[in-house]
Structure 1
Amino acid sequence: MTAFFKLLKEGNKPSLLAAAVNAFLGIIKGIAFFFTGNVAMFAEMMHSLGDAANQLFVFIGSALSKKAPTKQFPTGFGRIVNLVCLFAVIIVAILSYETIKEGWHHFIHPSGESKGVLIALGVLMVGIILEGTVLAKASVEVLHEAGQPKAGLASILKAFAYLNRAKPATKLVFMEDLVATGGNILAFLAIIIAYLTGWGRIEGLVSMIIGCMMFYVVGKVFLDNARGVIGETDQEMLNHIAHIVMDNPNIKDIVRLEVIKEGEYLHVEVVAEADAHLSLAFLDDVRDHLTEIIASQKSVSKVTILFDEDDGQTTWTHIGEKPEQ
């Protein structure tokens, strides 16, 4: 049990913060829905509770993925975070369906004027502020994981360009809180419009829109993590590491190079060709040098390098332009 709690300390902090914030918002939105009967508030309650459960699972999964490799599982537990994300989106998918169904029912059969408009607007304003804060923190974390500096208020917009380089848990938090913040704003506007115009159907319409936004996150997260579970190549790092290997004057060719995502980390395996006249002791020094350089690259946790004698033919032809350092 002590080891488990030690692992939890290594979990993705933005996920834990987002889970706590969404749990709090889910509770107060549920209370507001009970007193107002507002269907847009119902949609936001379901959204917040779904995100809270989702992000809590992701936090636990990200922590368990840090567990050290064992004899039975020599490649480690990095892909656990992908498996947990796949499980978590099932919860969001169910809540998305319920949100759309309830929104459709209200759109077809409006229940009349909602009560407690000020209560609903106040709760949603709290949601906008808290979700926006978590989104801003997730944006900063995305930039940090991509090796980019913070950009103040522009961090959210800048984070979109580097989202694919973020860890799975951080990416999920960013996307969910982006949709959550947008959902709060839409629900806020829907309640104002319904109050001023008397068109109550807009609350049902917005509820369906929020449900569809949730389904988009489900689809995106599912596809990203399904690739992670199978074992996806990091093409950008593959190109970068190929340049590192080929820049060594003792390497004549690359027979095979694999850079596989293992959750938040990368495992690298290289089979390279070298001059047959080089001694084993010299090649061992070359391997140590390359291993040290490759292991120092961002997110690389395991490096395996094997040598074969040069056959005089060029096998590796996949190197593109050298990436910026």
Structure 2
Amino acid sequence: MSAGGGTRAIIAALLANLGIAITKFVAWLLSGSSSMLAEAVHSVADTGNQALLLVGGRRAQRGATPQHPFGYGRERYIYAFIVSIVLFSVGGLFALYEAYHKWQHPEPIDDHQWLPVAVLLVAISLESFSFRTAIVESNHIRGKATWVQFVRRAKAPELPVVLLEDLGALLGLVFALVGVSMTLVTGNGRWDAAGTAAIGLLLVTIAVILATETKSLLLGEGATPEDVARIERAVHEGSEVERIIHMRTLYLGPEELLVAAKIAVRPASSAEHVARDIDTVESRIRSAVPIARVIYLEPDIYSARRAARPESVEAETAPETGGKG
């Protein structure tokens, strides 16, 4: 992911949600609509989430230290996981609580009846702008993947998080608009409560999706099948290596891949030749997959007798997989 592209989408979403949150709170204070309160809290949660993503991106840029020799790239995953928790607790659970309270004690909207509808229509236009920005930035790196595949396979968490948040915000605004409009038409406050409940269920669902996908990144994911194939081609392009005995890859951060492999070299090679050949292979790997910044290649002599015992090398030769799920 382009860091600049992700940052643009986050800032656009943050500014939109901050303005929307203030407007929604004013509308709630004047009208007493529970849907407006749920949406206001939702916008506050989203604003805080975007701030967390910016902080995570900033902290992830710190250099490696003796205590953290592979750097801090995974902080972006940690902060994205925190975002899912905030969205679930602050946004979703609060909306469900407010919906339950309003269902038990329904109230019509008597004051400033036009205001909630006007605010929601303006909010929909602002959220649409934010959502469009996230879509444009995502399309730069999405390639031919579907949107579901993009959210599931993306190694940089910021754009999928912003996409899902903005989608949830737009759907939530539609739910709130239906609830408020039906309350104004019928005078029955339970429509407002129903809209609030729909917002809560939506936010909880999105939070669970984000938590599930981010958890996979935190646990550590290997390179995508496409990148694994590029690395294997780069290793075998020259005559330096007879074969890959086994290989493991791991994302140290969204834009930093670790490659560790045991490679078979010619039995008669001297240490000097082996070292030179390894340097050559590493250079080809970095050219093929630029994010492969940490590479460890262990030279070995391939044993046909060992290859005849597949049960002993089954774990070593297991294919790499990429993506979550």
Both structures adopt the same fold (TM-score exceeding 0.5): yes
Question: Is 1:207 paired with 2:196?
Answer: yes
**Distance in 1 of aligned mates of 2:80 and 2:219:** 14
Higher relative contact order (CA 8 A, sep 6+): 2
Structure 2 counterpart of 1:75: 70
Question: Is 1:138 paired with 2:134?
Answer: yes
What amino acid maps onto 2:61 in structure 1? K
1:259 shift after superposition: 1.6
- Scaled by the length of structure 1, what TM-score is found? 0.83
Deviations 1:65-110 (A, max 9, x none): 1222122211110111122222333322222211111012112321
Question: Is 1:24 paired with 2:19?
Answer: yes
Structure 2 counterpart of 1:308: 300
What amino acid maps onto 1:210 in structure 2? I
Please point out which of 290, 294, 298 is paired with 2:281: 290
Question: Is 1:47 paired with 2:42?
Answer: yes
Question: Is 1:93 paired with 2:67?
Answer: no
- How many residues of Structure 1 are paired with residues of Structure 2 in the alignment? 306
Structure 1 counterpart of 2:249: 259
8 Å CA contact 1:65–1:81 kept in 2: the answer is: yes
Give SS of 2:261's match. Answer: strand
8 Å CA contact 1:62–1:81 kept in 2: the answer is: yes
8 Å CA contact 1:168–1:263 kept in 2: the answer is: no
Structure 2 counterpart of 1:104: 100
Deviates more, 1:185-194 or 1:54-63: 185-194
**Distance in 2 of aligned mates of 1:294 and 1:206:** 53
Deviates more, 1:287-296 or 1:210-219: 287-296
Give SS of 1:113's match. Answer: coil
Structure 2 counterpart of 1:159: 147
Deviations 1:191-226 (A, max 9, x none): 223223334312211211111111122212222222
Please point out which of 170, 176, 185 is paired with 1:181: 170
What amino acid maps onto 2:189 in structure 1? G
Percent of counterpart pairs with the same letter? Answer: 22
Q: Which runs of 5+ in 2 are unaligned?
A: 308-312
Deviates more, 1:107-116 or 1:37-46: 107-116
Deviates more, 1:257-266 or 1:167-176: 257-266
Structure 1 counterpart of 2:179: 190
What amino acid maps onto 1:56 in structure 2? A
Question: Is 1:274 paired with 2:265?
Answer: yes
- Scaled by the length of structure 2, what TM-score is found? 0.83
Give SS of 2:242's match. Answer: strand
Structure 2 counterpart of 1:60: 55
Change (3 A) 1:259 1:104: same
1:308 shift after superposition: 1.4
1:142 shift after superposition: 2.3
Equivalences for residues 33-44 of structure 1 within 5 A: 33-44=28-39
**Distance in 2 of aligned mates of 1:10 and 1:182:** 24
Change (3 A) 1:234 1:211: farther
Question: Is 1:117 paired with 2:113?
Answer: yes
What amino acid maps onto 1:234 in structure 2? A
Give SS of 2:258's match. Answer: strand
Give SS of 1:89's match. Answer: helix
Structure 1 counterpart of 2:157: 168
Equivalences for residues 220-239 of structure 1 within 5 A: 220-236=209-225, 237-239=227-229
Deviations 1:268-306 (A, max 9, x none): 222211222234444334323332333242543322222
1:12 shift after superposition: 3.2
